[in-house]
Amino acid sequence: MNQQTLLEDSKNYLWLPFTQMTDYERDPLIIESGEGIKLKDIYGKEYLDGYSSLWLNVHGHRKKEMDEAIKKQLDSIAHSTLLGASNIPAINLAKKLAEITPKNLKRTFYSDSGAESVEIAIKMAYQYWQNKGYKDKRKFVTLSNGYHGDTVGAISVGAVDIYHRVYGSLMFESIKAPFPLVYRNKEETPDQIRDAALAQLRNIFEEHHREIAGITVEALIQGAGGMNIMPSGYLKGVEKLCRAFNILLIVDEVATGFGRTGKMFAVEHEEVEPDLMTIAKGITGGYLPIAATMTTEEIYEAFYGEYEEFKTFFHGHSYTGNQLGCAAALANLEIYERENIIEQVQEKMAYVSFELQKLKKLEHVGDIRQLGLMCGIELVLDKETDEPFPWKERIGYKSTLRMRELGMLTRPLGDVVVFMPPLASSKDELRKMISIMKQAIHETTEAFVKVI
């Protein structure tokens, strides 16, 4: 098919997620292939994958061992249902996940996306208390600016206003607790910010614990909410409050899991043991849609009994525990061991931190936030006052369009430029991407300032 037809067909038949289609029509991009950390479009132009194909990719594209594992699985079977039956890759992966996640987590419940893994965690937490006879524990606490996916349950425990506003009456109500935001708070130290947020959470728990089933929280860093890093000790503090008030701790590791922050899971930084933990994105190295909700035997047992007792967890998706996906995940995790991916990330994150200092000097870079290979660069009109650019100018978006021209892909969160390279990126590639970001940010912000 020729390029022009593809272009027209894409405009006529597709509706892209999280995309205003007029943006796509103005600046369309159609990917044809990938190799290593590069993507190639239908015109043959290459791009460094600066956002890991939306925070998923780990070892690069067309990783030989991954490709082979999937082909090998195809020779046995692609898919059979997990409803009432199981399969070999699903069993092996569940065992492996029990080994690599925090000690208390043993059970795997599969699904196909991060949002689903969160829906499942919420329903499990809710039904856990129902099954245990605590009929009033039905509410959830969530942090301001938290993001847990886009299904109705997931947005109900999320709080990114721009994504959720229009669906208000469709959502169930959660109790919002403040996130300990450090940037733009010049009066307090990170420790003070942490302690204040924990004190407010304690107040909420004290007043409402009889009706609270659980709290949903991202692990150490809020992703889609703007790459906001929690002050050290905050997550541990949340865990302690959960234990004190008999509230389930649901930690969302969809973005942070699988080495992204320099540990296999971000909860390891503070030795936190969630009651429920959601994982997705990196689980198959960015190959196939597998997600999982991990939980404890304590929670599992609350659902265990004879059918007539009505304790069954009535939830499942058609492709849950898909063999191809589980085989890809197993191959992915083998590469972590063979190539010491976590150690590599620790070295690369220090390098990235060093290189990102070059951006800090730019006139309109207000803040650089980094946890492992998860980075956000916040662009501001005025560095002294942290005044943002007028939102309608879409400086973040325009900067990333310029990056695209220069040969790198990423997507911003408002005026926060996201840098989430595949874990396998070489130092040379990391340096190249940072240099493209620097040039694009510089040119885009200067062009705006000249106009006003």
Distance in angstroms (rounded) separating the CA atoms of residues 93 and 103: 16
Comparing CA positions, the residue from 228, 266, 236 lying closest to residue 101 is 266
C-alpha separations of 3 from 29, 41, 95, 272 in Å: 11, 10, 46, 51
CB nearer to ligand PLP: give 115 or 365: 115
In the complex, minimum distance from the CB of residue 224 to ligand PLP, in angstroms, rounded to a whole number: 6
Among 97, 115, 213, 373, binds ligand PLP (CB under 6 A): 115
- Count the residues of the shown chain that bind ligand PLP, applying the rule CB under 6 A: 14
- Figure out which of the listed residues 255, 264, 380, 416 binds ligand PLP, where binding follows CB under 6 A: 255
As a residue count, the chain comes to 452
For ligand PLP, the closer CB: 321 or 364: 321
- Considering the complex, state which of residue 239 and residue 429 has its C-beta at the smaller distance from ligand PLP: 239
Residue from the set 50, 89, 149, 366 that interacts with ligand PLP by CB under 6 A? 149
Quick check: 119 binds ligand PLP (CB under 6 A)? no
- Residue pair 283/94 in contact (Cβ under 8 Å)? The answer is no
218, 239, 275, 415: which one binds ligand PLP (CB under 6 A): 218
- Which of 140, 147, 205, 389: binder of ligand PLP (CB under 6 A)? 147
| CB 283, min distance to ligand PLP, A | 10
User: Cβ of residue 291: shortest distance to ligand PLP, in angstroms?
Assistant: 6
Write phi, then psi, for 257 (nearest 5 degrees).
Answer: -70, 165
Structure-block tokens of residue 278: 């959601």
Minimum Å gap between C-beta 63 and ligand PLP is 20
Binding span for ligand PLP by CB under 6 A among 142-150, 163-171, 202-210, 264-272: 142-150
Q: Are 193 and 206 in contact (CB under 8 A)?
A: no
Edge-to-edge order in the sheet of strand 38-41: 31-35, 38-41, 46-49, 408-409
Determine the Cα angle at 147 with ends 387 and 176, to 5°: 80
120-137 burial, b at 16+ Cβ within 10 Å, e below that, comes to bbbebbbbbbebeeeeeb
Compare residues 37 and 254 and give the one whose CB is closer to ligand PLP: 254
- Residues at the interface with ligand PLP (CB under 6 A): 113-115, 118, 147-149, 218, 223-224, 252, 254-255, 280
